[in-house]
Amino acid sequence: MALRPWSPIPIVDNGEPLLPLPPDLLRLEPHPYVAVGAPYGEAASPFQLRQGVIERLLAAQAQLQRRHPQWRLAVFDAWRPLAVQEHMVRHAIRCECARRGIDPAQSGTAIDAVVAEVGRFWAPPSADPLTPPPHSTGAAVDLTLADADGQTLGMGSEIDAIGAVSEPDFFAGRAAALPPGPDRDQALRWAGHRDALRQAMEAVGFAQHPNEWWHFSHGDQLWAWRLGHPSAHYGRWGTA
């Protein structure tokens, strides 16, 4: 997996602590990466973020509820240790190989294509402090929308789905290409949900991953790259 376009951006960590998400932010549990054996360790929780990121998440939820009072943010994943990143990259490659009917033990162009496609969505588990995976910094969060009962809204694809369907504007483009009818109406609903999430997050300073409707960050290298800032505020948290 190649380095990202944001990798050269310098990091000047501001030292903010990594804190648990407050009760006002819905957590989607049981956590899916724990279920597939991701090695968090006894003291680690995925539902942690830097202090300033949590404050902005609460502000984003307030923004969302000004237009949609019955909706709330639902956090799928937040802080991710390097060991978890490495585990989940391998897991994603195995799953994509299985979906394509490819033996993951082989080599060649088929495996290279899987690794390249997975690499559009999963950052390399780099141990270099100059190129931390976004989630290892405590600045990135994967999330969706839920209703007042905590039921998630339809977004057209699952979080972590590999492929073009996960790109933020996928269903807006599909709706524009479809004739009037139920399929177009469904595409418009999913596009509307994705846009509502993006609008709430961007209104308070988050940047969206270009390939993932669910991934937003504030203060990491991806954020700096997308918004034109000269440096990032958050590097990898601790030695995890």
Q: What is the pLDDT of residues 117-133, one digit of tens each?
A: 998 899 989 999 999 99
Question: How many angstroms separate the CA atoms of 226 and 211, rounded?
Answer: 12
pLDDT digits (tens, 9 = 90+) for 69-94: 999 999 999 999 999 999 999 999 99
Assign residue 96 a region: left if phi > 0, alpha if psi is -120 to 50, beta otherwise? alpha
| Of 41 and 236, the one with more pLDDT | 236
Question: What number is the average pLDDT over the span 84-112?
Answer: 89
Q: Assess whether pLDDT exceeds 60 at residue 240.
A: no
Under 8 Å CB-to-CB from 129, ≥6 apart: which residues? 11, 235, 236
pLDDT at residue number 110: 87
Domains and CATH numbers, the chain: 18-227 (3.30.1380.10)
Indicate the DSSP class of residue 158: -
pLDDT digits (tens, 9 = 90+) for 16-68: 999 999 999 999 998 889 889 999 987 688 999 999 999 999 999 999 999 99
Question: How many angstroms separate the CA atoms of 139 and 14, rounded?
Answer: 12
Tell me whether residue 55 is one of the annotated catalytic residues.
no
Which is catalytic among the residues 16, 86, 96, 212? 212
Under 8 Å CB-to-CB from 209, ≥6 apart: which residues? 134, 215, 216, 217, 222
Under 8 Å CB-to-CB from 191, ≥6 apart: which residues? 156, 169, 171, 172, 174, 175
Q: Assess whether pLDDT exceeds 60 at residue 2.
A: no
| Nearest by Cα to 102 from 86, 118, 88 | 118
CB half-sphere exposure, 100, CA atoms < 13 A: 19
Confidence of residue 239 (pLDDT cuts 50, 70, 90): low
Number of neighbours of residue 119 by Cβ within 10 angstroms = 16
Q: Which alpha helices (H) appear in the chain, and where do they start and end?
A: 32-35, 51-67, 82-100, 109-118, 170-177, 182-202, 221-227
pLDDT digits (tens, 9 = 90+) for 158-214: 999 999 999 999 999 999 999 999 999 999 999 999 999 999 999 999 999 999 999
Question: How many angstroms separate the CA atoms of 21 and 50, rounded?
Answer: 9
Residue 97 backbone phi and psi in degrees, to 5 = -60, -45
CB 163 within 8 A of CB 213: no
pLDDT at residue number 112: 87
Question: How many angstroms separate the CA atoms of 126 and 182, rounded?
Answer: 44
CB half-sphere exposure, 25, CA atoms < 13 A: 24
